[in-house]
Amino acid sequence: MRVMTRLLVVVSLFSAWQLYALGIRIADQDSLATARGNAFTATADNPSAIYYNPAGITQLEGQNASYSLYGIYLKSSFRSTSGNEFDTKDELQAVPHLYYTFTPKVCPVSAGIGVYTPYGLGLEWPFDSQFRVLATEGRILYMTVNPVVAWKILPSLSIAAGPTLNYSQAQLKRGIGVLANDEFKFKGDGWAAGYTAGILWRPHPKHAFGVSYRSATRVDFEGHSSTTPSPPLPARQSASAEFDFPQNVIVGYSFRPTPDWNFEVNIDWTDWDSLNTVTLKQPSGNQPLPFNWRSSFFYEFGATRFFDGGWRVSAGYIFSENSVPESSFNPAVPDSDRHIFSLGAGRNYEHWRWDLAYQLAYGPSRDVTGTPFGLADGRYEFISHAINLSIGYAF
């Protein structure tokens, strides 16, 4: 367990903290999929299928590996009802993902393993913001190791499943509200187990259907909390909190009118209703952290055009529903409806392949009222720019 913890911490040094859309989901696991608006569940024809739909790995021959790096710059802005303006700290983040698959010759069973980041959150508001007693900084890291086994039951039908081993870290900072520079901090980590499953059915060369499922997990974050200055509160004490990460279902349909085109549409549902009030437990007294989020959807649309010489270009669009209702809004997760546009290109060689995608996400203005004492009432806006690069190799 120590070796696995160290491995995931090393990977996390290159991971993104500051990502939020559809709650705290990170759906961009591969450049080709990103370029297609992540409409990839019914296609799933490279090693990142381990995330998008593990049943898809039966389409891959021999050994295949891929590495992707998703880099993003994003910003949330706030304008209060009185005209005060604050922006989150500028951060350029990068999230790596690793996948490997193996399909023996003359065998209907394939296997694979992925190391990826399905959730993540992190932002930092200025310490002098008017809502600092609600949140100044919040970060969650969630890393997954996911071995899978897939079985091609029929030439047109495959199923797959596999366990997940998940490691997560959480950090929270906010003002206390007594002195100008007082601060409360919590930091903890924990493990959880879950599973994934998938189905891929291609009844006709022009039509394919895919379903992918990710189970819910519960992480018991064990760590400590501290206050500055400490008197009369403890300077440091043990603390813990249980956080529910939701189940997720993706359903996709791919239409290929000719071998040169692939269109796909996905409906991607996340059960954020399972995340209610989180209780921070500590000897000096428990603190409730109300989330009370609501389930929400990605609506994903993608298209790829294939050319001679192994070239391809792709485009996609996602509409991401807001997961955070106004009744429990907190600046730590300033979620909103998002419009996400993407473009990309790539090429296959005899053994190598590469894809490069650009993604623009825009959150229309969201007016929020009813936050505690009106501290975070105002208008929130969001924008991000991202680049995703993938490199693959077939042995």
Which sequence spans correspond to the domains of the chain?
A: 2-394
DSSP result, 170-234? EEEEE--SSSTT-EEEEEEEEEEEEEEEEEEEEEETTEEEEEEEE--EEEEEEEEEEEES-TTS-
SS3 content of the chain, % helix, strand, coil (to 5): 10, 60, 30
Q: How many CA atoms lie within 13 A of 1 on its CB side?
A: 6
Q: And the tokens for 248?
A: 């997720």
266 close to 40: Cβ distance less than 8 angstroms: yes
> What is d(CA 382, CA 120) in angstroms, rounded to the nearest whole number?
17
pLDDT in tens, the chain (395 residues): 443 433 333 333 333 333 333 458 889 999 999 999 999 999 999 999 999 999 999 999 999 999 999 998 888 999 998 889 999 988 777 889 999 999 998 899 999 999 999 998 678 899 888 899 988 888 888 999 999 999 999 999 999 999 999 999 999 899 888 887 889 999 999 999 999 999 999 999 999 999 999 999 999 999 999 998 866 667 889 999 999 999 999 999 999 999 999 999 999 999 999 999 999 999 988 988 888 999 999 999 999 999 999 999 999 999 999 999 888 888 888 889 999 999 999 999 999 999 999 999 998 899 999 888 888 999 999 999 999 999 999 99
What lies within 8 Å, CB to CB, of 139 at 6+ separation is 17, 18, 121, 122, 123, 169, 170, 171, 172
Say if pTM beats, i.e. exceeds, 0.85: yes
C-alpha dihedral, 114 to 59 to 208 to 47, nearest 10°: 20
Q: What's the pLDDT tens digit per position in 222-254?
A: 999 999 886 666 788 999 999 999 999 999 999
DSSP lists the bridge partners of residue 166 as 144, 192
DSSP result, 351-362? SEEEEEEEEEEE
347 close to 51: Cβ distance less than 8 angstroms: no
**311 Cα distance to chain centroid:** 28
Q: Does domain 2-394 have CATH number 2.40.160.60?
A: yes
